[in-house]
Amino acid sequence: MQYDHIVVGGGTAGCIVATRLSEDPNRSVLLLEAGPDFPDFDQLPDMLKLGWGTVNLEARAAGSPYNWSFTGRATAEQPEPMPVPRGKVLGGSSAINGQTFIRGAPEDYDTWASWGNEGWGYLECLPYFRKLENDADFHDDFHGTDGPVPVRHHQRETWPPSQEAFFQAATAAGYPFHPDVNNPEATGVSLRAENNIDGVRMSMALSYISSVRHRLNLTIRANVQARRVVLEDGRAVGVEVESGGDTFVVEGSEIILCAGAVASPQLLMLSGLGPADQLQAHGIPVAVDLPGVGQNMRDHPNVSVRYMVKDDVPQDPNGMRALRLRFTAAGSDTPNDMILSPASLNTVVRDDNPAHTVNCGLYLAAGKGELRLESADPHTAPSMDYRYLEEDWDRERLREAVRLCVSFLQHSAYDGIIDEITAPTPADLESDESLDLWLRRNISTSYHISGTCKMGPDDDPMAVVDPQLRVRGVSNLRVADASIMPDVVRANTNVTTMMIAERVSDFIKAGE
């Protein structure tokens, strides 16, 4: 059978694209996912169902059955590889991530448009953000109330003591309170938005796919790994896949790669689409020399300030990350380029450290990394060199964020909460040089890898896809996921990935 559309990757973008394209009963759609599928909610493992605490961290832990367990290099000062979790299950990373539902700054999308990506300005993206959203708390022109993704916020009466203390410290320092984090004017302290209902994460498998499984024109195949896109005479005609020990080709009139910012560039290179020198080094025939594949790797460098709380401080696991503070670094011309995210209990990584954290994130880094093909074997993960903190401007802003965070923790609102600040130490804070060394040793990913198949105009030699997300130099092939972002947005990337998927679905329906 030849399908009209083959969607490779059943993650955030893939679930949405498959759902939207199959709305037309005359289109046949095949959705391929390398991980398992759980069609029955009652069979969904708790680590994929429940929102917070150790169960959530179990799903993203290295070696989890639902995590690709990639690794990357953060800085030269870190001897161990940095974990880079990505979801390996229908729903993809939306099934294991932090469920943070934040769009990005309007200027992010306007910048994309100013770089020659016509049609990607904020006002043109806004209808798609509204289309996918069902916000229970904010009803205005900036929000949707009937989309498939439910959005909730933790109101003040639910905050644990350390969240309340952070709020008091930040507002005492002069930062305003804007409850709606997705309002385009929002800055300062805001309520963290999340796609979670009563402790149950609403992955895109639940939000989009669960209600359309009955469609006769939609075929979902789990435990099927794509090996490469099959090309003939400059056209994509199918996908070579592996399933149950067999390797075979599925044919399609159009292929849409939604495999994420790691696997989509890897698949392109395995298919002969990428930097010629890398392909030739691994014996892969060059179909199209696309030097930008795997380059422009963007992320949000993140470091955690840690503290121990007193034994009698109560904790509510349902509101452990109720707030976040967005602010503009001193001397920055990009508003809200920094984010502080207080976490009552360690909700970011799974380890034995009992400390609470405030995560200090650089949300518009100057530096960028590189993803490279390591083998022609699709089972060998690509290498990822994040190259954090190589830019002076990035180090300067993170130093400011850490010192601001420590000053908050010394506010009187924390007097009955904090036992001691464990990291950074006073010695680490003694000078810019000592703090830089601490940053280099402790910096980590925010799990927001993007930009590795960047979108751009014809005159951008590093652009991999055009503004309709068509891969340059080959027909019938698109990429639609976080990899196409020209630069990472000033927010968690999952909602922007949802918007990208909604947009490309309309492009395809319109024949663009």
Portion of the chain with pLDDT greater than 70, in percent: 96
State the pLDDT at residue 266.
98
Residue 143 lies in a domain: no
| 355 and 425 share one domain | yes
244 torsion bin: left (phi>0), alpha (psi -120 to 50), beta (else): left
Q: Is residue 326 part of a domain?
A: yes
- CATH assignment at residue 94: 3.50.50.60
351 within domain boundaries: yes
103: left (phi over 0), alpha (psi -120 to 50) or beta: alpha
pLDDT reported for residue 457 = 98
* Residue 238: predicted pLDDT: 98
pLDDT of residue 311: 86
Percent of the chain beyond pLDDT 90?
Answer: 88
Q: Which of 5, 143, 300, 448 is catalytic?
A: 448
Residue 225 lies in a domain: yes
Nearest to 77 by CA among 433, 469, 320: 433
Mean pLDDT of 185-194: 96
- Per-residue pLDDT tens digits for 380-432: 999 999 999 999 999 999 999 999 999 999 999 999 999 999 999 999 999 99
Query: Where residue 319 falls among pLDDT bands split at 50, 70, 90?
Result: low
What is the predicted pLDDT for the residue at 54?
55
- Mean pLDDT value of segment 200-205: 94
Average pLDDT over residues 137-158: 93
Q: Are residues 346 and 471 in the same domain?
A: no
Task: Tell me: pLDDT of 345 over 80.
Answer: no
Domain of residue 348, residue span: 155-191+302-364+389-442
Q: What is the mean pLDDT of the chain?
A: 94
How many structural domains does the chain have? 2
Residue finishing a domain among 424, 442, 460? 442
Question: Which of 13, 3, 7, 15 shows the shortest CA–CA distance to 31?
Answer: 7
Do 224 and 263 reside in the same domain of the chain?
A: yes
Q: In Å, how far from its chain's centre is CA 457?
A: 24
Question: What pLDDT digit, counting tens, does each position of 353-367 carry?
Answer: 667 889 999 999 999
CA distance 211 to 426: 54
In a domain, 342, yes or no: yes
Same domain? For 256 and 346 the reply is no
Q: Looking at the domain assignment, is residue 380 inside a domain?
A: no
Report pLDDT for 55.
60
Which among 442, 465, 483 is the end of a domain? Answer: 442
**CA-based nearest residue to 101, from 162, 190, 208:** 190
Q: Is 214 a catalytic residue?
A: no
Number of neighbouring beta carbons within 10 Å of residue 235: 14
Q: Under a CB-based contact definition with an 8 Å cutoff, are residues 322 and 154 in contact? A: yes
